[in-house]
Amino acid sequence: MDSSQRSDPLVGLVVDARYRVDALIATGGMSAVYRGLDLRLDRPVALKVMDSRYAGDSQFLTRFQREARAVARLKDPGLVAVYDQGLGDHGAGLPYLVMELVEGGTLRELLRERGPMPPHAVAAVLTPILGGLAAAHRAGLVHRDIKPENVLISDDGEVKIADFGLVRAVAEAKITSTSVILGTAAYLSPEQVGTGDATPESDVYGVGILTYELLTGTTPFTGDSVLAVAYQRMDNDVPPPSAAIAGVPPQFDELVRRATRRTPGDRYPDAAAMGADLAAIVTELGLPPFRVPAPANSAQHAASAEFHSRLANRADSDDGDEHTTAATAPPQAPPPILPPREATPPPAPRQHTREMPRDPDDWDRPRTPYRSGQFAGIDIDELVWARQRGRRVSLFWAVGILTLTAMVAAGAWTLGSNLQGLI
């Protein structure tokens, strides 16, 4: 989604006499996301308000309500909770979802800030994603739109998937958008490109592409157009991440390979099966636990700062009014309502490192300013070196033992062959 903090006609309104719209977080092809407040429960929430073109589509509204009810029943730490849904005041406004407000940012924003991740950070991101998808797959639901923009990271290190059900509702309404296609093309499975069908295996394919991007900093397919990117996966296998960046463990190459096979039946059958393989890889490689950092310059943080700044300005203004009497103070105009500030633009694209990081033991220390060739402030070339050093020690011991064994065997054979002559 494109971040924006400009003035918005919905900001300040109360929807259905319950949800106050406080600040615009981001806009996209299907909807806009706002920071809001549930006035009844005094709880901060996220409001996803659908585009006006969906308001008059009865098929979409029916599907929208049905999908919202289904998703609201899902309970998993890896899923953004859905609290409520509505169609605007008395059903005549814009359809909206009320969701858990994740104070943090998106995985896309984190990748822009910090670049590709080492294997233990990738595992920390994927584990809750696959857990949330597994809960949905068990309930018979498919996400259909796995991508970094739909993965939220909280300031507490929680990783959650958002936007379940929206793609299906939009698809059945036969309303498409260039920006929707642009945001999805890099992660679509071959069957979604070819027939539009989506199954749990389609979500697995999207997670496979996401895994490739987390490890390398890029998606595997590029092209001159959206269609070119989408159709490349029809005839081409996803290359191993180790072909793009040195030091990726072969276990992650195999994870990506199996998740992104072109035939759905050759992939993991669902997110639970892929999650089990990932857990086995974590154990096999001895990957350390990792707390995923939230992006520092996120649209959500900008919206939150803007909202609290306006509250502070109003409080200062009200406090000044209390100390000014009508007899002593000259007439004053009310303080102007300033439009929200523009969000901090994302950093310029940079050249990612071509090697995996080396030291896996110090990734959860306090964040330091980012530099090229780093993730979370640590140089990205330590993990391979440490792993190779351990392998060299083991190799030296093995070679030494084999050499000693060979020498003893050769000596014994020589002694046995000349035993008659010695006697």
Question: Could you give the residue numbers annotated as active site?
Answer: 145
Packed helices 250-259 and 200-216: angle between N→C axes, nearest 10 degrees:
150
Nearest C-alpha neighbor of 356 from the set 341, 337, 336, 378: 378
Q: C-alpha angle with apex 103: 17 to 20, nearest 5 degrees?
A: 10
The residue assigned the tokens 């979604």 is: 192
For residue 276, give both structure tokens: 């089990």
Nearest C-alpha neighbor of 4 from the set 36, 22, 23, 26: 26
Instruction: At 233, give phi and psi (nearest 5°).
Output: -75, -10
For residue 245, give both structure tokens: 């960046």
Whole-angstrom distance, CA of residue 152 vs CA of residue 210: 14
Whole-angstrom distance, CA of residue 288 vs CA of residue 361: 7
Nearest C-alpha neighbor of 25 from the set 306, 376, 422, 409: 306
Nearest C-alpha neighbor of 241 from the set 225, 259, 267: 259
List residues bridging with 404 in a β-sheet.
Answer: none
Whole-angstrom distance, CA of residue 106 vs CA of residue 134: 21
